Chain A
Amino acid sequence: MRLSPDEIIFWQHGFLKLNATIVFTWGLMLVLAVGSKIITRKLSTGLKRSRWQNLLEIVVTGIEKQIEEVGLGQPQKYLGFLGTLFLFVAAASLCTVIPGYEPPTGSLSTTAALALCVFVAVPFFGIEEQGMGNYLESYVKPTFIMLPFNIISEISRTLALAVRLFGNMMSGAMIIGILLTITPFIFPIIMTALGLLTGMVQAYIFSILAAVYIAAATRVRKPKPEPDAKHSSMNYDNKRRYYG
């Protein structure tokens, strides 16, 4: 039994290998990129719009709302990164309904790469929002003793992100493989349906956790906004100017 799609090799020349993980990752990237390019080629601002545009608008505004609820003030800024993470992981697990497809997130190298992206993005957004000094200072808060623990937590949560996604995806494929040998007809279908649900939940969790980490890194010390949160996002820039 295979542990990951890394072991399916389509083409090999010397040390260059083309395994299923790479092929399916690039396939997904192609589908996502070309699909959204085709849909956004002719956007309409009127009342009449294509159903694909409706779909994309639902997806984008939904992600934006979720990011905002986590506590990131300007969801537009983080939409590119977090939305891509969510869409890729979700598409990777939703495509398991296609026969012969293996989710690339079932390989530890893919999930480690995604987690490393988060690992790099958190200080990037943090420094961009707070400035270098303030961001580095957040490591020694509340006291200097916390410095090693903060660094350890930074590394361990990256590891946790990678292993969590990998473990969930791999276990889904593994359970279906084991059930196929025991009870070939009905139960694998049920487990596949359950795997789709788990995949969506994992995609949601992966992007929400990334958003939470970024929100923790970009939190600027300032008074809490007023309870009427509906308007606070609109004049966020004014407020920042006001509070300095």
Chain B
Amino acid sequence: MDNMTIIAVASIVIAGITTGFGTMAPALGEGRSVAAALSSLAQQPDASATITRTLFVGLAMIESTAIYCFVVSMILIFANPFWNHVIAQVGGK
């Protein structure tokens, strides 16, 4: 395998793994936080406004870790700096 193939394979495989594994933990965390919020909503319906707002903000915080992974894998696929480097080198020759 030449360098180009190695870079292409590594980028594609790692992009998949990044999103796949990177969304696992946030999904578990979001599930736990929603479950906790639902049970506290059932216990105290009066505090629904506060609980919902805090839940949304917390979910956004948790979700952003998954979004980081997604952005990284999108960069690996569509705007890969290593790939561009190799293409430029091949073009220069």
- B71–A208 touching, CB < 8 Å: no
With contact pairs A3-B79, A69-B49, A171-B70 given, residues A201 and B64 touching in the complex (Cβ less than 8 Å):
no
Return the contact of A167 from the options B49, B50, B57, B71 (Cβ within 8 A).
B71
Interface extent on B, as a size class?
A: 10 to 19
Bound-complex Cα distance A113 to B70 (A): 21
Selecting from A35-43, A83-91, A129-137, A158-166, the interface stretch reads A158-166
Point out the residues of chain A lying under 8 angstroms from B71, CB to CB.
Answer: 163, 166-167, 170
17 contacts between A and B (CB under 8 A): A3-B78, A3-B79, A69-B49, A160-B64, A163-B64, A164-B60, A164-B63, A164-B67, A167-B68, A167-B70, A167-B71, A170-B71, A201-B60, A202-B60, A204-B56, A205-B56, A205-B57
- With both chains docked as a complex, state the minimum distance between the C-beta of A230 and any C-beta of chain B, in angstroms: 15
Q: Is B93 an interface residue (CB 8 A)?
A: no
- With both chains docked as a complex, state the minimum distance between the C-beta of B78 and any C-beta of chain A, in angstroms: 5
Q: Is B74 an interface residue (CB 8 A)?
A: yes
Residues in chain A within 8 A of chain B (CB atoms): 1, 3, 66, 69-70, 160, 163-164, 166-168, 170-171, 174, 201-202, 204-205, 208-209, 212
Return the contact of A164 from the options B50, B53, B64, B79 (Cβ within 8 A).
B64
A164-B63, A171-B67, A208-B56 provided; 5 other pairs, C-beta below 8 A? A66-B53, A164-B67, A167-B67, A170-B71, A209-B60
In the complex, the chain B residue whose C-beta lies closest to that of A208 is B57
Bound-complex Cα distance A69 to B52 (A): 12
Point out the residues of chain A lying under 8 angstroms from B79, CB to CB.
Answer: 3
- With both chains docked as a complex, state the minimum distance between the C-beta of B7 and any C-beta of chain A, in angstroms: 19
Point out the residues of chain A lying under 8 angstroms from B70, CB to CB.
Answer: 167, 171
Instruction: Tell me if B's interface is mostly helix, strand, loop or mixed.
Output: helix
Q: Lowest 8 A-B CB distances belong to which pairs?
A: A167-B67, A205-B60, A164-B64, A3-B78, A167-B71, A160-B64, A164-B67, A167-B70
Return the contact of B57 from the options A3, A168, A212 (Cβ within 8 A).
A212
- With both chains docked as a complex, state the minimum distance between the C-beta of A85 and any C-beta of chain B, in angstroms: 14
In the complex, the chain B residue whose C-beta lies closest to that of A2 is B78
Bound-complex Cα distance A70 to B60 (A): 16
Point out the residues of chain B lying under 8 angstroms from A69, CB to CB.
Answer: 49-50, 53
- With both chains docked as a complex, state the minimum distance between the C-beta of B92 and any C-beta of chain A, in angstroms: 24
Bound-complex Cα distance A160 to B66 (A): 12
Q: Which of A166, A205, A208 has the most CB of B within 10 A?
A: A205
Interface string of B50-93 (1 = CB under 8 A from A): 10010011001001100110110010001100000000000000
In the complex, the chain A residue whose C-beta lies closest to that of B67 is A167
Point out the residues of chain B lying under 8 angstroms from A212, CB to CB.
Answer: 57
Q: Which of B56, B67, B68, B78 has the most CB of A within 10 A?
A: B67
- With both chains docked as a complex, state the minimum distance between the C-beta of B33 and any C-beta of chain A, in angstroms: 14
- With both chains docked as a complex, state the minimum distance between the C-beta of A207 and any C-beta of chain B, in angstroms: 11
Interface string of B34-51 (1 = CB under 8 A from A): 000000000000000110
In the complex, the chain A residue whose C-beta lies closest to that of B71 is A167
- With both chains docked as a complex, state the minimum distance between the C-beta of A106 and any C-beta of chain B, in angstroms: 12
- With both chains docked as a complex, state the minimum distance between the C-beta of A112 and any C-beta of chain B, in angstroms: 13
- A170–B57 touching, CB < 8 Å: no
